[in-house]
Amino acid sequence: DSGVTQTPKHLITATGQRVTLRCSPRSGDLSVYWYQQSLDQGLQFLIQYYNGEERAKGNILERFSAQQFPDLHSELNLSSLELGDSALYFCASSRDPHQPQHFGDGTRLSIL
């Protein structure tokens, strides 16, 4: 158990809808990262927050947004969902930037 908690584990929705994925980092970790894992793209970095502030951005679509709250949990919002958004979405956390990242077990998003 990595100590990173992601909810929900599975999410099934339709095209055009909006969903919110939640991540609680390990106790004491200030940095949260979001990654997408799909069969064709592999594991891709989306975005990083550190202590509530956006720190780095990857290949995140404009339809996707994230935030980190004062209690350090993070949410990833995906809107106007398309079939191609079906993937596993992982959250990772680390004590500080440049420290090892520990991953949660992910949210499996299926778009029908």
Partner 1 sequence: QQQVKQSPQSLIVQKGGISIINCAYENTAFDYFPWYQQFPGKGPALLIAIRPDVSEKKEGRFTISFNKSAKQFSLHIMDSQPGDSATYFCAASGDTDKLIFGTGTRLQVFP
CB atoms within 10 A of CB 20: 15
Q: Which of 29, 106, 109, 111 binds partner 1 (CB under 8 A)?
A: 106
Please compute Rg for the chain using Cα positions: 13
Q: Which of 56, 69, 84, 112 binds partner 1 (CB under 8 A)?
A: 56
Which of 42/70 has CB closer to partner 1?
42
27: amino acid identity, one letter: S
Considering the rule CB under 8 A, would residue 64 count as an interface residue with partner 1? no
CA–CA gap between residue 68 and residue 80 (Å, rounded): 22
DSSP 6: E
Considering the rule CB under 8 A, would residue 3 count as an interface residue with partner 1? no
Q: Which of 31, 68, 74, 93 binds partner 1 (CB under 8 A)?
A: 31
